[in-house]
Amino acid sequence: MLSNNLATIYHGNCLDLLPSVPDGTVDLIFADPPYNIGKSFGQFKDKWPSDQAYAEWCYSWLTLCLKKLKSTGSLYVMTSTQAMPYIDLWMRSQCTVQSRIVWHYDSSGVQARRYYGSMYEPILFCVKDPNSYTFNTDDIEVEARTGAVRKLIDYRKATPEPYKTTKVPGNVWYFPRVRYRMAEYEEHPSQKPEVLLERIIKASSNPGDLVLDPFAGTFTTCVVAQRLMRRTVGIEQEREYYKIGVRRLGLADELDGESLQPLDKSYVRKNGKQLPSGKDQGL
């Protein structure tokens, strides 16, 4: 475990570590678990014997997460498109599902030929109490694209005035995936973009609130939460990813006798020639 005034991060299994978080103290949880699709997270293979076994595992940590959440708290959970129906039905028996969000991205690397390639991941936005939860609309509004060249005027008003040009985003969010050349890129198979977490954290928490991520990976949630002056707790079971968190959050310069350095992205081709920096490799 390592911490500073805002962030505390743990190396270990969230099923073992979540019980140490006091009940009813967390304002926002973002849970991005393995998806049961066979990816490798270091030593860990993301594959369960059946859909049912995976769903049961999800219910066990979701139960713990809900215990830790305040009565006014929000929980966002991601999983694969095929597993989300299990989570959705179960969460509806425990709390209120406010939105089913689609994180849409361009998936140029996946070129399906005999089916429709996957270009989104689902996110469930749930609250304990639909009558009392944080939702900071002003902090997440986006430009409303009406297609009109001139500003539309609302003539129903006593004095006609232009319509508001911003709105709360709908439930389809376009954000590019994290690519090799992006400054935030880390060596991890399913790192989420900071902009995605920024929207979630700004909408569903306030400065000083506590934001928890039980499957921290590269600790994107904690990094963004810390930047936005929220308190944050992250848990990750793979040591190499935990080290990424230690570095990204500025918690230490070295760990296990190893100096924690950012990824060296000076790409060297097989012939030994270095690619000019900033040149897009389509990765």
Binding of ligand SAM by 235 (CB under 6 A): yes
Rounded Cα gap, residues 57 and 49, in angstroms: 11
Binding of ligand SAM by 34 (CB under 6 A): yes
Per-residue binding string, ligand SAM, 43-82, x by CB under 6 A, is -x--------------------------------------
Residue with smaller CB distance to ligand SAM, 103 or 215: 215
Q: Measure the N-to-C terminal CA separation of the chain; round to a whole number of Å.
A: 34
Closest CA to 64 of 14, 99, 8: 14
Rounded Cα gap, residues 213 and 236, in angstroms: 9
Binding of ligand SAM by 27 (CB under 6 A): no
Residue with smaller CB distance to ligand SAM, 12 or 169: 12
- Of residues 188-217, those binding ligand SAM (CB under 6 A): 188, 190-192, 215, 217
Binding of ligand SAM by 128 (CB under 6 A): no
CB 235 within 8 A of CB 10: yes
Q: Quote the least distance from Cβ 38 to ligand SAM, whole Å.
A: 13
CB 198 within 8 A of CB 224: yes
Rounded Cα gap, residues 251 and 139, in angstroms: 28
Q: Which of 241, 242, 246, 248 binds ligand SAM (CB under 6 A)?
A: 241
DSSP labels for 107-144?
A: -TT---SSS----EEEEEEEES-TTS----HHHH-EE-
Binding of ligand SAM by 28 (CB under 6 A): no
Q: Quote the least distance from Cβ 62 to ligand SAM, whole Å.
A: 12
DSSP labels for 229-268?
A: T-EEEEEES-HHHHHHHHHHTTS-SEETTEE--------B
| Binding stretches for ligand SAM (CB under 6 A) | 13-15, 32-34, 41, 44, 188, 190-192, 215, 217-218, 220, 235-238, 241
